[in-house]
Structure 1
Amino acid sequence: MKRWVLGGALVGIAAMAGAETVAPVDVAYDEYGAVETSLTGAPGDAESGAAIAGDKKRGNCVACHQIGALADVPFHGEIGPMLDGAGERWSEAELRGIVANSKKTFEGSMMPSYYKTEGYVRPGDGFTGKAGEEPLPPLLDAQQIEDVVAFLATLKE
């Protein structure tokens, strides 16, 4: 009940501000995969983004990337680039595109598409017949994407 009331309040605030959440299928990527427009119309929260990036059940960025700002989170991966300095290497629009769907920027990337709901390859059906039906929910919601982008933008060398 509390979650619904809070969610309703947030929706009301967003509506008053004139902000609309961009649905995953409506995200406008440029030719290099950048997303210029905020997915929510609201600024991201870097502190929340750091929590998502280090959370093994949500963003889990540390599974593949080393992030010096999250040194307290154990077991950083090494298959993705180190994210220290990400805020200098990529613009906010580029970071948003990479987090939302990295395959638009880096074809063949192993990075999950965190804001995608359709167009998946589902080989599991051939083996188990239990793969999820599209559209699937995105791994992160629009505000979580904005929060992660805000955190990554703070990572300067």
Structure 2
Amino acid sequence: MNYALGLGLAATLAGTIATAEVVKPTDVVYVEGAVETSLSGTAGDPQNGAEIMNKGAGNCIACHQVDALSHLPFHGEIGPPLNGVADRWSEAELRGIVANAKVMFEDSMMPSFYRTEGFTRLGDAYTGKAHGDAEVQPLLAAQEVEDVVAYLMTLKEE
């Protein structure tokens, strides 16, 4: 009987951990541009965040210089350097900026990485055609935003 109870408790705990509540892009709460609550309910992985900074939908270094990633080519100069960013912004502020920088900085050129509505002209990938009826997906998933924020939190002044 105790064995069965233990298995049931373990399964319940595993189910609770595995079903962390993901905040939908339309449900994100911004307070002066900051987002206090994790979007995925799971801690970010800084190593994966560094990977996202370099490629795919993230590609942060296309616009920002990051000395810690100096081994990668082609750092951009249109966004501010991210060196020491964790000393300038809180985790909540960084989460808000990555999710949708336009909330904090109205005229920002930075893409909204965790947004699915309110676009002026939404295209269908790179086809040159208007977006179809499919549900719009954010550029980064909730966990990817958390991973990027976790990486950014490692970038402190030396």
| Range into which the TM-score falls when normalised by the shorter chain | 0.7 to 0.9
Match of 2:152 in 1: 152
Matches within 5 A, 1:46-61: 46-55=46-55, 57-61=56-60
Give the distance between the partners of 2:72 and 2:108, measured in 1 at CA.
24
Match of residue 39 from structure 2: 39
Q: What is the TM-score with the length of structure 2 in the denominator?
A: 0.83
Q: Give the SS at the match of 1:94.
A: helix
Gap regions ≥5 residues in structure 2: 1-11
Q: Which has the larger radius of gyration?
A: 2
Contact 1:14 1:20 in 2 (8 A): no
| Amino acid across the alignment from 1:53 | M
TM-score (norm 1): 0.83
Q: Deviations over 1:45-102 (max 9, x none)?
A: 00000000011x2200001000011111110000000000011100000000000000
The answer (yes or no) to whether the contact 1:64–1:79 under 8 Å persists in 2 is: yes
CA contact (8 A) 1:65 1:80 kept: yes
Query: Does residue 1:81 correspond to 2:89, yes or no?
Result: no
% identity of equivalent residues: 61
Distance 1:72 1:14, change over 3 A: farther
Q: Which runs of 5+ in 1 are unaligned?
A: 1-11
Distance 2:145 2:122 in 1: 27
- Alpha-carbon deviation of 1:123? 7.5
Relative to structure 1, the CA distance from residue 129 to residue 89 in structure 2 (aligned partners, 3 Å threshold; closer, same or farther) is: closer
What whole-Å deviation, never above 9, does each CA across 1:103-141 have from its counterpart, x for those lacking one? 00111100000000110010869xx98121474210000
Distance across 1 between alignment mates of 2:131 and 2:68: 35
**Matched positions, count:** 142
